[in-house]
Amino acid sequence: MDAGERTYCDYNATAPLRAEAARAVVEALARVGNASSIHREGRAARAALETARSEIAALVEADPSGVIFTSGGSEANALALSPGFRRMGEPLRDLLLVGAGEHPCVLDGHRFPAEAVERIPLDAEGRADLAWLAARLAEGERDGRRALVSLQLANNETGVIQPVAEAARIAHAHDALIHSDAVQAPGRIAVSIRDLGVDALTLSAHKIGGAPGAGALVLASEGYALDRLIRGGGQERGWRAGTENVPAIVAFGAAARAVREGLAEEAALLARLGGAFEDAIRRTAPGAVVFGAGAPRLPNTILFAVPGLKAETALIAFDLGGVALSSGSACSSGKVGRSHVLDAMGVDPGLAEGALRLSCGYGTREDDVIRFASVLEDVEERRARRSKAA
Protein backbone atom coordinates (compact mmCIF):
# COMPACT_ATOMS: atom_id res chain seq x y z
CA MET A 1 0.00 0.00 0.00
CA ASP A 2 1.11 3.56 -0.70
CA ALA A 3 2.34 5.17 2.51
CA GLY A 4 0.48 8.34 1.51
CA GLU A 5 -2.89 6.60 1.34
CA ARG A 6 -5.39 6.86 4.14
CA THR A 7 -7.85 4.32 5.53
CA TYR A 8 -11.07 6.06 6.51
CA CYS A 9 -13.02 4.13 9.16
CA ASP A 10 -15.27 6.86 10.53
CA TYR A 11 -18.38 6.52 8.36
CA ASN A 12 -20.68 6.90 11.36
CA ALA A 13 -19.36 10.43 11.80
CA THR A 14 -19.59 11.37 8.11
CA ALA A 15 -19.66 9.16 5.06
CA PRO A 16 -17.63 10.22 2.01
CA LEU A 17 -19.65 12.01 -0.65
CA ARG A 18 -21.03 9.53 -3.17
CA ALA A 19 -20.27 10.17 -6.83
CA GLU A 20 -24.00 10.41 -7.58
CA ALA A 21 -24.44 13.05 -4.89
CA ALA A 22 -21.40 15.02 -6.05
CA ARG A 23 -22.77 15.21 -9.59
CA ALA A 24 -26.17 16.28 -8.25
CA VAL A 25 -24.62 19.10 -6.20
CA VAL A 26 -22.63 20.45 -9.15
CA GLU A 27 -25.64 20.35 -11.46
CA ALA A 28 -27.88 22.04 -8.88
CA LEU A 29 -25.33 24.78 -8.17
CA ALA A 30 -25.15 25.53 -11.87
CA ARG A 31 -28.88 26.29 -11.94
CA VAL A 32 -30.56 29.42 -10.62
CA GLY A 33 -33.97 29.61 -9.05
CA ASN A 34 -35.72 29.72 -5.69
CA ALA A 35 -37.99 26.72 -5.18
CA SER A 36 -40.74 29.06 -3.95
CA SER A 37 -40.70 31.24 -7.10
CA ILE A 38 -43.34 30.72 -9.78
CA HIS A 39 -41.21 31.48 -12.84
CA ARG A 40 -39.60 28.76 -14.96
CA GLU A 41 -36.35 28.73 -12.97
CA GLY A 42 -38.24 28.50 -9.70
CA ARG A 43 -40.42 25.69 -10.99
CA ALA A 44 -37.33 23.78 -12.09
CA ALA A 45 -35.83 24.13 -8.60
CA ARG A 46 -39.14 22.99 -7.11
CA ALA A 47 -39.26 19.96 -9.39
CA ALA A 48 -35.72 18.96 -8.38
CA LEU A 49 -36.60 19.35 -4.71
CA GLU A 50 -39.76 17.25 -5.02
CA THR A 51 -37.89 14.53 -6.89
CA ALA A 52 -35.47 14.36 -3.98
CA ARG A 53 -38.39 14.24 -1.55
CA SER A 54 -39.77 11.22 -3.39
CA GLU A 55 -36.39 9.47 -3.35
CA ILE A 56 -36.00 9.96 0.39
CA ALA A 57 -39.55 8.78 1.01
CA ALA A 58 -38.88 5.66 -1.07
CA LEU A 59 -35.74 4.94 0.97
CA VAL A 60 -37.85 4.41 4.12
CA GLU A 61 -41.12 3.35 2.47
CA ALA A 62 -42.91 6.56 3.42
CA ASP A 63 -45.26 8.90 1.60
CA PRO A 64 -43.46 11.93 0.12
CA SER A 65 -45.97 14.23 1.83
CA GLY A 66 -44.49 13.13 5.17
CA VAL A 67 -40.93 14.26 4.39
CA ILE A 68 -39.96 17.59 5.98
CA PHE A 69 -36.53 18.88 4.97
CA THR A 70 -34.27 20.34 7.65
CA SER A 71 -30.63 21.38 7.94
CA GLY A 72 -29.65 17.96 9.32
CA GLY A 73 -30.45 15.24 11.80
CA SER A 74 -30.06 17.42 14.90
CA GLU A 75 -32.65 19.91 13.69
CA ALA A 76 -35.02 17.14 12.64
CA ASN A 77 -34.78 15.60 16.10
CA ALA A 78 -35.38 18.96 17.77
CA LEU A 79 -38.42 19.52 15.53
CA ALA A 80 -39.97 16.24 16.66
CA LEU A 81 -38.98 16.22 20.32
CA SER A 82 -41.35 18.88 21.51
CA PRO A 83 -44.54 18.82 23.60
CA GLY A 84 -46.24 20.10 20.45
CA PHE A 85 -45.68 16.88 18.48
CA ARG A 86 -49.05 15.20 18.72
CA ARG A 87 -51.98 13.95 16.70
CA MET A 88 -54.27 16.67 15.40
CA GLY A 89 -56.78 17.71 18.02
CA GLU A 90 -54.89 16.15 20.93
CA PRO A 91 -53.42 18.09 23.87
CA LEU A 92 -49.71 18.65 24.25
CA ARG A 93 -47.39 15.83 25.32
CA ASP A 94 -46.02 16.22 28.84
CA LEU A 95 -43.61 13.29 29.27
CA LEU A 96 -40.55 12.41 27.17
CA LEU A 97 -38.91 8.99 27.49
CA VAL A 98 -35.60 8.65 25.62
CA GLY A 99 -33.08 5.83 25.39
CA ALA A 100 -30.14 6.34 27.73
CA GLY A 101 -27.72 5.81 24.84
CA GLU A 102 -29.25 8.32 22.43
CA HIS A 103 -27.18 10.82 20.46
CA PRO A 104 -26.55 14.10 22.34
CA CYS A 105 -28.94 15.94 20.00
CA VAL A 106 -31.74 13.79 21.45
CA LEU A 107 -30.57 13.76 25.05
CA ASP A 108 -29.89 17.51 25.09
CA GLY A 109 -31.68 18.84 22.00
CA HIS A 110 -35.31 18.28 22.94
CA ARG A 111 -37.73 21.03 23.94
CA PHE A 112 -39.28 19.45 27.03
CA PRO A 113 -38.58 20.85 30.50
CA ALA A 114 -35.91 18.83 32.32
CA GLU A 115 -38.34 17.51 34.92
CA ALA A 116 -40.49 15.96 32.15
CA VAL A 117 -37.65 13.84 30.69
CA GLU A 118 -36.65 10.34 31.76
CA ARG A 119 -34.13 7.91 30.29
CA ILE A 120 -34.94 4.34 29.29
CA PRO A 121 -32.23 2.11 30.83
CA LEU A 122 -29.94 -0.06 28.71
CA ASP A 123 -28.86 -3.60 29.46
CA ALA A 124 -25.23 -4.73 29.42
CA GLU A 125 -25.36 -5.25 25.63
CA GLY A 126 -26.75 -1.76 25.00
CA ARG A 127 -30.38 -2.70 24.33
CA ALA A 128 -33.25 -0.61 25.69
CA ASP A 129 -35.16 -2.12 28.61
CA LEU A 130 -38.64 -2.51 27.13
CA ALA A 131 -40.09 -3.94 30.35
CA TRP A 132 -39.10 -0.68 32.05
CA LEU A 133 -40.64 1.28 29.17
CA ALA A 134 -43.95 -0.59 29.36
CA ALA A 135 -44.16 -0.15 33.14
CA ARG A 136 -43.34 3.57 32.96
CA LEU A 137 -45.87 4.19 30.21
CA ALA A 138 -48.54 2.34 32.16
CA GLU A 139 -47.76 4.40 35.24
CA GLY A 140 -47.85 7.62 33.25
CA GLU A 141 -51.15 6.64 31.64
CA ARG A 142 -52.72 6.09 35.07
CA ASP A 143 -51.48 9.54 36.10
CA GLY A 144 -52.95 11.14 32.98
CA ARG A 145 -49.56 11.82 31.36
CA ARG A 146 -49.30 11.93 27.57
CA ALA A 147 -45.93 10.49 26.57
CA LEU A 148 -43.57 10.77 23.63
CA VAL A 149 -40.91 8.08 23.26
CA SER A 150 -37.68 8.47 21.31
CA LEU A 151 -35.54 5.41 20.63
CA GLN A 152 -32.78 5.38 18.03
CA LEU A 153 -32.88 2.62 15.43
CA ALA A 154 -29.16 1.90 15.73
CA ASN A 155 -26.67 3.30 18.19
CA ASN A 156 -24.06 5.56 16.63
CA GLU A 157 -21.28 4.26 18.92
CA THR A 158 -21.90 0.54 19.45
CA GLY A 159 -23.98 -0.10 16.33
CA VAL A 160 -26.51 -1.99 18.48
CA ILE A 161 -29.88 -2.19 16.72
CA GLN A 162 -32.70 -1.29 19.05
CA PRO A 163 -36.04 -3.15 19.19
CA VAL A 164 -37.89 -0.15 17.81
CA ALA A 165 -40.84 -2.03 16.29
CA GLU A 166 -41.60 -3.70 19.62
CA ALA A 167 -41.16 -0.38 21.43
CA ALA A 168 -43.65 1.18 19.00
CA ARG A 169 -46.24 -1.48 19.80
CA ILE A 170 -45.77 -0.87 23.50
CA ALA A 171 -45.96 2.91 23.06
CA HIS A 172 -49.14 2.83 21.00
CA ALA A 173 -50.78 0.40 23.44
CA HIS A 174 -50.42 3.17 26.04
CA ASP A 175 -51.51 5.98 23.69
CA ALA A 176 -47.95 7.31 23.42
CA LEU A 177 -46.26 8.54 20.27
CA ILE A 178 -42.84 7.26 19.23
CA HIS A 179 -40.02 8.82 17.24
CA SER A 180 -36.81 7.12 16.09
CA ASP A 181 -33.49 8.71 15.22
CA ALA A 182 -32.61 6.45 12.27
CA VAL A 183 -29.66 8.37 10.82
CA GLN A 184 -27.16 5.49 11.18
CA ALA A 185 -29.31 2.77 9.63
CA PRO A 186 -29.91 3.42 5.89
CA GLY A 187 -27.35 1.74 3.67
CA ARG A 188 -26.52 -0.74 6.41
CA ILE A 189 -29.93 -2.31 7.08
CA ALA A 190 -33.35 -1.95 5.47
CA VAL A 191 -35.50 0.80 6.99
CA SER A 192 -39.29 0.97 6.65
CA ILE A 193 -41.34 3.46 8.64
CA ARG A 194 -44.35 1.20 8.14
CA ASP A 195 -42.61 -1.92 9.43
CA LEU A 196 -41.14 -0.05 12.39
CA GLY A 197 -44.54 1.37 13.24
CA VAL A 198 -43.12 4.68 14.47
CA ASP A 199 -44.89 8.01 14.18
CA ALA A 200 -41.78 9.79 12.91
CA LEU A 201 -38.15 9.11 12.11
CA THR A 202 -35.07 11.21 11.45
CA LEU A 203 -32.63 10.95 8.52
CA SER A 204 -29.40 12.79 7.71
CA ALA A 205 -27.81 13.27 4.29
CA HIS A 206 -24.14 13.15 5.26
CA LYS A 207 -24.53 9.79 7.00
CA ILE A 208 -25.45 8.10 3.71
CA GLY A 209 -23.02 9.84 1.36
CA GLY A 210 -24.97 13.02 0.68
CA ALA A 211 -23.70 16.55 1.26
CA PRO A 212 -23.75 18.05 4.78
CA GLY A 213 -26.51 20.56 5.40
CA ALA A 214 -29.61 18.47 4.72
CA GLY A 215 -31.73 16.15 6.81
CA ALA A 216 -35.34 15.17 7.14
CA LEU A 217 -38.04 14.44 9.65
CA VAL A 218 -40.33 11.83 8.11
CA LEU A 219 -43.88 11.54 9.44
CA ALA A 220 -45.72 8.22 9.16
CA SER A 221 -48.88 9.87 7.81
CA GLU A 222 -50.87 13.06 7.76
CA GLY A 223 -52.78 14.05 10.86
CA TYR A 224 -49.89 15.12 13.09
CA ALA A 225 -49.23 18.56 14.56
CA LEU A 226 -45.75 19.97 15.16
CA ASP A 227 -44.48 22.94 17.12
CA ARG A 228 -42.42 24.70 14.46
CA LEU A 229 -38.80 25.24 15.38
CA ILE A 230 -38.01 27.82 12.66
CA ARG A 231 -40.77 30.28 11.86
CA GLY A 232 -41.07 32.62 8.91
CA GLY A 233 -42.15 31.76 5.39
CA GLY A 234 -44.38 28.91 4.32
CA GLN A 235 -41.69 26.51 3.10
CA GLU A 236 -42.10 22.78 3.78
CA ARG A 237 -45.88 23.21 4.05
CA GLY A 238 -45.34 25.63 6.91
CA TRP A 239 -43.48 23.15 9.12
CA ARG A 240 -39.99 24.57 8.55
CA ALA A 241 -39.38 28.13 7.35
CA GLY A 242 -36.38 29.23 5.31
CA THR A 243 -35.31 28.92 1.71
CA GLU A 244 -34.59 25.27 1.04
CA ASN A 245 -30.97 24.23 0.47
CA VAL A 246 -31.74 22.79 -2.96
CA PRO A 247 -28.19 21.62 -3.87
CA ALA A 248 -27.80 19.70 -0.60
CA ILE A 249 -31.35 18.33 -0.80
CA VAL A 250 -30.89 17.19 -4.39
CA ALA A 251 -27.65 15.44 -3.37
CA PHE A 252 -29.55 13.88 -0.45
CA GLY A 253 -32.06 12.48 -2.93
CA ALA A 254 -29.31 11.13 -5.19
CA ALA A 255 -27.61 9.44 -2.23
CA ALA A 256 -30.92 7.99 -1.04
CA ARG A 257 -31.56 6.47 -4.44
CA ALA A 258 -28.04 4.98 -4.56
CA VAL A 259 -28.52 3.50 -1.07
CA ARG A 260 -31.89 1.99 -1.94
CA GLU A 261 -30.76 0.48 -5.23
CA GLY A 262 -27.47 -0.83 -3.84
CA LEU A 263 -28.59 -1.99 -0.40
CA ALA A 264 -28.20 -5.74 -0.93
CA GLU A 265 -24.71 -5.40 -2.41
CA GLU A 266 -23.51 -2.87 0.15
CA ALA A 267 -24.94 -4.80 3.11
CA ALA A 268 -23.09 -7.92 1.95
CA LEU A 269 -19.87 -5.90 1.56
CA LEU A 270 -20.21 -4.42 5.04
CA ALA A 271 -20.96 -7.78 6.62
CA ARG A 272 -17.84 -9.28 5.04
CA LEU A 273 -15.55 -6.37 5.87
CA GLY A 274 -17.01 -5.80 9.32
CA GLY A 275 -16.32 -9.44 10.11
CA ALA A 276 -12.77 -9.11 8.81
CA PHE A 277 -12.11 -6.02 10.96
CA GLU A 278 -13.47 -7.75 14.04
CA ASP A 279 -11.41 -10.88 13.33
CA ALA A 280 -8.32 -8.67 13.03
CA ILE A 281 -9.05 -7.06 16.39
CA ARG A 282 -9.53 -10.38 18.19
CA ARG A 283 -6.47 -11.92 16.51
CA THR A 284 -4.12 -8.99 17.12
CA ALA A 285 -5.38 -8.00 20.57
CA PRO A 286 -6.84 -11.15 22.17
CA GLY A 287 -7.81 -9.22 25.29
CA ALA A 288 -9.93 -6.70 23.37
CA VAL A 289 -13.56 -6.25 24.36
CA VAL A 290 -16.16 -5.60 21.64
CA PHE A 291 -19.10 -3.76 23.16
CA GLY A 292 -22.59 -4.97 22.29
CA ALA A 293 -21.19 -8.18 20.81
CA GLY A 294 -24.14 -10.18 22.12
CA ALA A 295 -26.78 -7.97 20.48
CA PRO A 296 -27.80 -7.42 16.84
CA ARG A 297 -25.53 -4.72 15.44
CA LEU A 298 -25.01 -2.75 12.27
CA PRO A 299 -22.61 -4.69 10.05
CA ASN A 300 -20.26 -1.73 9.69
CA THR A 301 -19.76 -0.69 13.32
CA ILE A 302 -17.36 -2.01 15.98
CA LEU A 303 -16.82 -0.28 19.31
CA PHE A 304 -13.93 -1.94 21.10
CA ALA A 305 -11.35 -1.41 23.81
CA VAL A 306 -8.04 -3.01 24.68
CA PRO A 307 -7.48 -3.05 28.46
CA GLY A 308 -4.65 -0.71 29.35
CA LEU A 309 -4.87 1.29 26.12
CA LYS A 310 -6.19 4.85 26.36
CA ALA A 311 -8.36 6.11 23.52
CA GLU A 312 -6.50 9.40 23.07
CA THR A 313 -3.13 7.66 22.73
CA ALA A 314 -4.54 5.07 20.34
CA LEU A 315 -6.32 7.61 18.13
CA ILE A 316 -3.11 9.57 17.62
CA ALA A 317 -1.19 6.38 16.79
CA PHE A 318 -3.83 5.24 14.31
CA ASP A 319 -3.96 8.68 12.69
CA LEU A 320 -0.17 8.75 12.30
CA GLY A 321 -0.42 5.25 10.79
CA GLY A 322 -2.90 6.46 8.21
CA VAL A 323 -6.12 5.15 9.81
CA ALA A 324 -9.01 7.41 10.82
CA LEU A 325 -11.02 6.10 13.78
CA SER A 326 -12.97 7.86 16.52
CA SER A 327 -13.67 7.38 20.20
CA GLY A 328 -17.43 7.59 19.76
CA SER A 329 -19.78 10.39 18.75
CA ALA A 330 -18.18 13.09 16.60
CA CYS A 331 -20.54 15.68 18.10
CA SER A 332 -18.59 16.34 21.29
CA SER A 333 -16.42 19.28 20.16
CA GLY A 334 -13.54 16.99 19.26
CA LYS A 335 -13.04 15.89 22.85
CA VAL A 336 -11.95 12.38 23.78
CA GLY A 337 -13.97 11.43 26.83
CA ARG A 338 -15.80 8.50 28.34
CA SER A 339 -18.92 7.43 26.47
CA HIS A 340 -22.32 8.05 28.06
CA VAL A 341 -23.51 5.00 26.10
CA LEU A 342 -20.98 2.73 27.82
CA ASP A 343 -21.81 4.33 31.16
CA ALA A 344 -25.48 3.45 30.58
CA MET A 345 -24.43 -0.13 29.76
CA GLY A 346 -22.57 -0.39 33.08
CA VAL A 347 -19.12 -0.75 31.51
CA ASP A 348 -16.18 -0.32 33.87
CA PRO A 349 -15.01 3.33 33.60
CA GLY A 350 -11.37 2.36 33.08
CA LEU A 351 -12.25 0.15 30.14
CA ALA A 352 -14.73 2.68 28.73
CA GLU A 353 -12.00 5.34 28.61
CA GLY A 354 -10.18 3.25 26.01
CA ALA A 355 -13.14 2.73 23.68
CA LEU A 356 -12.44 3.12 19.95
CA ARG A 357 -15.08 3.14 17.22
CA LEU A 358 -14.43 1.68 13.81
CA SER A 359 -17.13 2.26 11.19
CA CYS A 360 -16.63 1.26 7.57
CA GLY A 361 -18.75 1.88 4.49
CA TYR A 362 -19.30 1.58 0.76
CA GLY A 363 -15.80 2.80 -0.09
CA THR A 364 -13.97 0.43 2.25
CA ARG A 365 -11.81 -2.32 0.73
CA GLU A 366 -9.78 -5.33 1.89
CA ASP A 367 -6.58 -3.24 1.82
CA ASP A 368 -8.12 -1.07 4.55
CA VAL A 369 -8.48 -4.10 6.80
CA ILE A 370 -4.80 -4.94 6.22
CA ARG A 371 -3.65 -1.40 7.05
CA PHE A 372 -5.82 -1.25 10.16
CA ALA A 373 -4.51 -4.62 11.39
CA SER A 374 -0.92 -3.53 10.80
CA VAL A 375 -1.34 -0.32 12.82
CA LEU A 376 -3.23 -2.13 15.57
CA GLU A 377 -0.39 -4.66 15.81
CA ASP A 378 2.13 -1.82 16.30
CA VAL A 379 -0.10 -0.15 18.88
CA GLU A 380 -0.62 -3.39 20.77
CA GLU A 381 3.10 -4.21 20.78
CA ARG A 382 3.94 -0.79 22.24
CA ARG A 383 1.20 -1.18 24.86
CA ALA A 384 2.48 -4.64 25.84
CA ARG A 385 6.06 -3.33 26.17
CA ARG A 386 4.93 -0.47 28.41
CA SER A 387 2.87 -2.84 30.52
CA LYS A 388 5.80 -5.25 30.90
CA ALA A 389 8.19 -2.42 31.82
CA ALA A 390 5.81 -1.19 34.47
What is residue 388's predicted lDDT score, i.e. its pLDDT? 74
- Provide block-wise average pLDDT over 10 residues at a time, the chain (390 residues): 78 97 95 92 94 98 98 98 97 97 97 97 98 98 97 98 98 98 97 98 98 97 94 92 95 98 96 97 96 98 95 95 84 64 96 96 97 95 77
360 counts as catalytic: no
The Cα–Cα gap between 183 and 72 comes to 10
Give the single-character DSSP code of 292. Answer: T
- Cβ-contact 215, 69 below 8 angstroms: yes
What is residue 338's predicted lDDT score, i.e. its pLDDT? 79
Identify the active-site residue in 9, 105, 331, 360: 331
What is residue 333's predicted lDDT score, i.e. its pLDDT? 41
The set of residues, in sequence order, having a beta carbon less than 8 Å from that of 218 and lying 6+ positions away, is 56, 57, 60, 62, 66, 67, 68, 193, 200, 201, 202, 203
pTM above 0.85, yes or no: yes
The answer to whether domain 19-258 has CATH 3.40.640.10 is yes
The beta-carbon contacts of 13-16 under 8 Å, at least 24 apart in sequence, are 13/326, 13/330, 13/359, 14/206, 14/207, 14/212, 14/330, 15/187, 15/206, 15/207, 15/208, 15/209, 15/361, 15/362, 16/209, 16/361, 16/363
Q: What is the third-level CATH fold of 7-16+263-389?
A: Aspartate Aminotransferase, domain 1 (3.90.1150)
What is residue 385's predicted lDDT score, i.e. its pLDDT? 81
SS (HEC) of 181-229: ECCCCCCCCCCCHHHHCCCEEEEEHHHCCCCCCCEEEEECCCCEECCCC
| Positions of CATH 3.40.640.10 in the chain | 19-258
